[in-house]
């Protein structure tokens, strides 16, 4: 479960490294806690530095420190029970940043994601990930 003030690692190539959750969107049932596949609003706490040469390139860093963005949760430390009775838990909390059209901000994903993303409608993220658990 991801609550307010939770920090998450960013596993895409958008330029952000660490974000802090400030709101869980449209999730009235769990009192503001988000799980895998939920959309959140977050603030970029740490980002990759931007050089002058990088700004001119096509693959420029898309976010800066302090930007408010939307993201989708892809891994949680809190264990989640699947319908077959197994429990799945990860080493850290992680997210992938989104733009205003609910599309991925980055073009690559570097790290494993939960298979529950496919059930929640984020199959694009699951297909780009190197490993789905």
Q: In sequence order, what DSSP letters do the residues of 38-101 get, joined into one string?
A: -EEEEEEEEE----HHHHHSTT-----TT-EEEEEEEE-SS-EE-TTS-EE--SS-EEEEE-TT
| Burial letters 54-67, b for 16+ CB under 10 A, else e | eeeeeeebbbeeeb
Query: What would the pLDDT profile of 83-127 be if each residue is shown by its tens digit?
Result: 999 999 999 999 999 999 999 999 999 999 999 999 999 999 999
Please tell me the total count of domains within the chain.
Answer: 1
CATH number at residue 104: 2.40.150.20
Residue 43 lies in a domain: yes
Residue 41 lies in a domain: yes
Query: What would the pLDDT profile of 30-78 be if each residue is shown by its tens digit?
Result: 677 899 999 999 999 999 987 766 666 666 567 999 999 999 999 999 9
φ, ψ (nearest 5 deg) of residue 58: -70, -40
The pTM of the full predicted model, rounded to 2 decimals, is 0.90
């Amino acid at each position: 479960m991801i609550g307010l003030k939770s920090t998450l690692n960013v596993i895409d190539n958008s330029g952000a490294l660490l974000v802090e959750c400030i709101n869980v969107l449209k999730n009235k049932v769990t009192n503001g806690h988000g799980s895998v596949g939920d959309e959140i609003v977050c603030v970029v706490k740490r980002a990759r530095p931007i050089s002058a040469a990088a700004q001119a390139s096509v693959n420029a860093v898309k976010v800066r420190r302090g930007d408010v963005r939307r993201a989708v949760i892809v891994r949680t430390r809190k264990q989640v029970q699947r319908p077959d009775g197994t429990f799945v838990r990860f080493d850290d909390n992680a997210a992938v940043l989104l733009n205003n059209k609910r599309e991925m901000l980055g073009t690559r994903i570097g790290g494993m994601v939960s298979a529950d993303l496919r059930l929640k409608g984020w199959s694009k993220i699951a297909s780009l990930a190197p490993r789905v658990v």
